Structures are given as structure tokens and as C-alpha cells.
Amino acid sequence: MNLILLEPHEIDGRGRVVLIDRRARHICNVLRARPGDGVRIGAIRGPRGTGEIIDINSSPRVEMQVHWNRSPSPVPQIDLVLAVPRPKVLARTLRAAACLGVRRIDLVNAWRVDKNYFSSHELKPTSLRDNLLRGCEQAETTWLPDIDVHRLFTPFAQGPLNASVGPQRRSDEAERPGDRTSDRVRFVVAHPPAGRTIETVIAPGTSASIVAAIGPERGWIDGEIKALVQLGAVPVTLSAHVLSVETVVASLLSQVELLRRLPTSSDYLLDS
């Protein structure tokens, strides 16, 4: 836990907060903080700063004075559509996604998703939120992604997903280097047979909002790929190897982050 995340309502009018849960145990047993020490804190979707320990005991109970000195974490410009994986994999995947940074996550059903997964404890709202919080704590980010669960693929694709991707260009049209139009949405779907790599679709230096869809362990069926492509999705492959769902999430988000950091072709020309 690299950042102690606080709910805004936990902070009283004097700027103090009292913790008695796992965060307090971490401060007591891992950080071994004492009165007068400072710990890194952040308000969910709010500023970051330092929590000065006022009182602490092994109950555990920790009372802190809040001092804000850093702005909120930036809002990630990527949304993740994820076919529900096995429950234990889901927990790890959500933590990784929150750690790497996503704006929202839509957990969806698919033909190859085991329907028993939807009765798992890991899909309960409290469990989903807890795993996202743990990812944010690791990454020292205050941006907690939105998350929703959709039990039916087609209504989700035709409704919320269609609304989020908006009018798309032809699915075979790649973003041009240096094309930084902020209102464009690039929509990609991880699909090993695609043969087309992500950098042929998303240009270096892009500032476009991105929607990325990742299927179940055995992949999307043809009908699902067709439905996504009709919404403007471009199927891409991320590796020459067959990857697990949690590895695909980490690989895709990391590749997008690298593409955002790379200079555009015009930048290369300016430097030469």
C-alpha cells in the first residue's frame, strides 16, 4: 500500500480522519508509524498529500491530520471492456487495470464466459471496489475507475458501448501520426487472429480517448467480433504468444501508455 486512500466523507471539519480498518493495520504493522510521523494519503478522486499521525494504537486505531499539497491524479483516457474471467483472475486483473490506469471498466458476458461466474462473490460491488482500491493504492493514484457489470452482451453493445464509442470512422482506417483530435475515440479489440498490431491503429503521441475490449480466455466468437467491428472496433494482436486475460490487460494498457509517450512523426522531424 503506497498510498492511503481516504473517502472524502471520512475527513471531518477540522481536517482530521480516524481509521480503524486495514488501512490502520497497515500504518501500525507495516509502516510502524508513530505520533508526529507523516504517511502518504489521497482522497478518492481528489488531492494527494500527507497525513500527520496525531494518535495511534494497536487496536488498530489511527487518527491523522490531513495536509493536501498535490493535485488529484489525472483522469485516464482509456476505458476497458472486459469479458468476465474466472473469479480469482478477475481480482488480480482489476487490481492491475486500476494500477495501470483506466477511466472505467465494463465487465460483460460473452458466449465463452462461464455463467456461474456471475454468482461469484468477486462480482459483488464491495469486492469489485475493494480490488480497484488496492490497485490504486499500489499505483499511488487517486483516480478510482467506474465499474459496471453487464449480464447480456448484445444490449450492452447496442446501448452503453455504442453510446461511448460514438460515431466511428471506418474500422480499417488507422489514426495518422500527429492526429491529436481530442474528440475522436479509438476503439480496439484484442483478437489474436487479427494479425494487425496496435501501433498500426493508434498513432504515437495520440491524445485520443481509447476504448479497449478484451475477451474471455478462449476468445470472442465470430459473432461478437462482428458486432464490435460494426461499432467501429479494430481487431489487434498484442503478441506472437497466447496470453492469459490478466497478461493481455497489462500488455494492452502498457502498449497504449508507451504509444502516448512516444513523439509523433512531426516531432521527430522537428528534432532532426
Evaluate if residue 242 carries a pLDDT over 90.
no
pLDDT tens column, 24-60: 999 999 999 999 999 999 999 999 999 999 999 988 9
The mean predicted confidence, pLDDT, of the chain is: 90
CATH class assigned to 78-265: alpha beta
For 183-211, write each residue's pLDDT tens digit.
478 999 999 888 889 999 999 998 899 99
Helices 87-100 and 125-139 pack at an angle, to 10 degrees, of 40
Nearest Cα neighbor of 129 from 110, 109, 145 is 145
Does 165 score more than 80 pLDDT?
A: yes
The pairing of beta strand 61-70 with beta strand 16-19: antiparallel
Q: What does the pLDDT average to over 175-184?
A: 51
For residue 79, the model assigns a pLDDT of: 97
Arithmetic mean of pLDDT, 6-23: 96
Grid coordinates representing 62 are 489511527
Can you read off the three cell numbers belonging to residue 84?
468476465
Assigned C-alpha cell, 254: 502498457
Distance separating alpha carbons of residues 225 and 153, to the nearest angstrom: 12
Q: Which of 73-77, 172-176, 223-227 has the lowest mean pLDDT?
A: 172-176
Exposure of 234 by Cβ count < 10 A (0-12 exposed, 13-18 middle, 19+ buried)? buried
Q: Express as a percent the part of the chain with pLDDT over 90.
A: 81
**C-alpha dihedral (149, 194, 240, 215), degrees to nearest 10:** 10
- Residue 9: helix, strand or coil by DSSP? helix
Mean pLDDT computed over 229-236: 94
Domain boundaries, the chain: 4-70, 78-265
pLDDT tens digits, 53-112: 999 998 899 999 999 999 999 999 999 999 999 999 999 999 999 999 999 999 999 999
Look at the chain and count its residues.
Answer: 272
Cell of 99: 494500477
In angstroms, rounded to a whole number, what is the distance separating the alpha carbons of residues 73 and 91? 23
What share of residues in the chain are helix, strand, coil (percent, to 5)?
35, 25, 40
Does residue 167 have a cis peptide bond before it, meaning omega lies within 30 degrees of 0? Answer: no
Q: Is 242 exposed, middle or buried (0-12, 13-18, 19+ CB in 10 A)?
A: exposed
pLDDT at 182: 42
- Measured CA to CA, the distance from residue 62 to residue 39 in angstroms comes to 11
In CATH, the architecture of 4-70 is Beta Barrel (2.40)
The band of 271, judged by pLDDT with boundaries at 50, 70 and 90, is: very low
For residue 108, what is the DSSP state?
E
